[in-house]
Structure 1
């Protein structure tokens, strides 16, 4: 180790002895608190750098009651969308001098509860959850860490009106997809949604049912576990028969991939026989054959907005990320 302290970690006392000040003054300088002259602070910081001093985060957490760590529990990390959400949160956390720890619930309420309990035990300073189902994870967090912030990601769970919410503008997203398909002439629309017991974004389904009823369109909600195999199988079954939907609205570009494979397995063509609308505009979506019509939004901005609310810098409790429809080759008029 540098500075003659080989074999042990530099301490506040080492810095204080080298500069000729008290350990309290060293602590004030390192924590950017008032009461230290600019010249003395510069000397302390220079000596800390020379010695290779690093703040002990555990000791700081015990002293201040703050860990500067924030938990993120996601219901499905297989979906690349959530990687971009995490990327935006990480960007904001690093800028604030904090860190995030990410856990995947894999659509398991038990695993989700385990992650929340673990983060609470380590006294994390906040929690963001893209919940499984009814939002039990938020209630669990509030019980274990009362008065510590929580943010709900991509969910509109009843009974959690007192919790900050960060989400795409789901009502607008569904409206844009339905209107686009209706303008192309589609009358029978399939809509992918999680099973009721796992559904966290019920507002999407409500918007779809209301919009199709208003326009006298046939609605076919398809409840499916949101993994590629399940979506492929259930969409494949929905495509059989004379009453099959001529278009599908998916909850993500991730699941849209499975719709493509199901359509092809039935000997049909995406964009000609069956139209598909995704959600998220992943980087790979315009590379599909045909390129995917989808709902576009700034996912990393959504992640930054989520961290801002954990950090206490959000301008409002609710943030709905703006969306727009990007029309590509996966949608066209229904077959005559």
Structure 2
């Protein structure tokens, strides 16, 4: 910093004010200092800055399973918004293990991050809840229930909206026997299943069987094998999650089932596999990038007092059904 001050011909205190974005700096002073910074290729000491301003300008993001492409999109949305606000992102991956969630919450706290965004494996796990209650920094939960006694904001999806539309579409095509593959985090799985069951409850001759399990490709594969082994097969299958959809499509292809012919199929999330499949797969779609951006915006409302005083405690984004040829009239 001393060399920058000498090159710019200003006091070290002036350099400090420019580098910390102090408002009481003239445009001429800022220009002189920044020219010297670039000429000397000066890199500010981030740790020293953190000690000086009382902030690390970093945010922790604990992800349940980064192998899920939807979570990758959410991370991208959050990182872009936080970067624009001057924050870096520290990412952890829990690999579907709630015990790792607990370790990562502790790690991020020890790293002195200014706030955390969490897409947890199990937000109801007692030790996870205890860890959340002890966190002193602002929290935003992504698409999860808010546990009792935890002060947090939330950015989520209305999973029921798109799932209800998908079920209604299949009913209009004459389907009455349904199979629903469910699994994954409690909130999305619960909302999806409730939407399907409540919609079918209004149709006297409609019936369904649910196949709950883990949120994995393997569960999707095994559930379809069980479905196809039934004497009276359903005419429509709904896979309540992108990884479940991927596994289900594998088993259906291996069994030689013609989608949109032998039976109809609806998946979740508009991934490449859905559009490139033959025939293209009808899905319940959501804007994952947008929910990441919303989560970051909610966190910034707590990190930057006065930046968004009217920020809500929770933002809920819609989902929508996209009809494609994997859905067709029920076989007669």
TM norm structure 2: 0.88
Q: How far 1:144 sits from its partner (Å)?
A: 4.2
Question: Would you say 1:213 and 2:201 are equivalent positions?
Answer: yes
2:312 aligned residue (313, 316, 319): 316
Question: Would you say 1:239 and 2:249 are equivalent positions?
Answer: no
Kept in 1, the 8 Å contact 2:284–2:321? The answer is yes
2:269 aligned residue (280, 285, 294): 280
Q: How far 1:122 sits from its partner (Å)?
A: 0.2
Q: Which residue of 2 aligns with 1:333?
A: 329
Question: Would you say 1:30 and 2:19 are equivalent positions?
Answer: yes
Residues 219/159 of structure 1: CA separation in 2 closer, same or farther (3 Å cut) = farther
Instruction: Give the SS at the match of 1:278.
Output: strand
Q: How far 1:112 sits from its partner (Å)?
A: 1.5
Instruction: Work out the CA distance in 2 between the residues paired with 1:98 and 1:138.
Output: 25
Question: Would you say 1:124 and 2:103 are equivalent positions?
Answer: no
* Greater displacement, 56-65 / 324-333: 56-65
Q: Which residue of 2 aligns with 1:113?
A: 102
Instruction: Work out the CA distance in 2 between the residues paired with 1:100 and 1:116.
Output: 14
Instruction: Give the SS at the match of 2:52.
Output: helix
Runs of 4+ more than 6 Å apart: none
User: Where do residues 124-143 of structure 1 align in structure 2 (5 Å cutoff)?
Assistant: 124-136=113-125, 139-143=129-133
Q: Which residue of 1 aligns with 2:186?
A: 199
Question: Would you say 1:168 and 2:157 are equivalent positions?
Answer: yes
Instruction: Give the SS at the match of 1:100.
Output: strand
Q: How far 1:221 sits from its partner (Å)?
A: 1.9
Residues 268/174 of structure 1: CA separation in 2 closer, same or farther (3 Å cut) = same
Kept in 2, the 8 Å contact 1:157–1:200? The answer is no
The Cα RMSD (Å) is 2.3
Q: Which residue of 1 aligns with 2:305?
A: none
Q: Which residue of 1 aligns with 2:173?
A: 184
Residues 128/283 of structure 1: CA separation in 2 closer, same or farther (3 Å cut) = same
1:41 aligned residue (23, 30, 40): 30
Instruction: Work out the CA distance in 2 between the residues paired with 1:55 and 1:278.
Output: 49
1:308-327 CA-partner distances (Å, limit 9, x unpaired): 11111583222222222111
Instruction: Work out the CA distance in 1 between the residues paired with 2:43 and 2:181.
Output: 50
Question: Would you say 1:145 and 2:141 are equivalent positions?
Answer: no
TM norm structure 1: 0.87
1:229-286 CA-partner distances (Å, limit 9, x unpaired): 2220122112222343322222233321211222233442222222211122113421
Q: How far 1:157 sits from its partner (Å)?
A: 4.8
User: What is the number of equivalent residue pairs in this alignment?
Assistant: 322
1:126-171 CA-partner distances (Å, limit 9, x unpaired): 211222123448635544432x221111223553785222122212
* Greater displacement, 62-71 / 117-126: 62-71
Instruction: Work out the CA distance in 1 between the residues paired with 2:52 and 2:244.
Output: 46
Instruction: Work out the CA distance in 2 between the residues paired with 1:248 and 1:168.
Output: 22
Could you tell me which runs of 5 or more consecutive residues in structure 1 were left unpaired when the two chains were aligned: 1-11
| Larger RCO, structures 1/2 (Cα 8 Å, 6+ apart) | 2
Q: How far 1:24 sits from its partner (Å)?
A: 2.1
Residues 117/220 of structure 1: CA separation in 2 closer, same or farther (3 Å cut) = same
Kept in 2, the 8 Å contact 1:250–1:279? The answer is yes
Instruction: Work out the CA distance in 2 between the residues paired with 1:284 and 1:263.
Output: 14
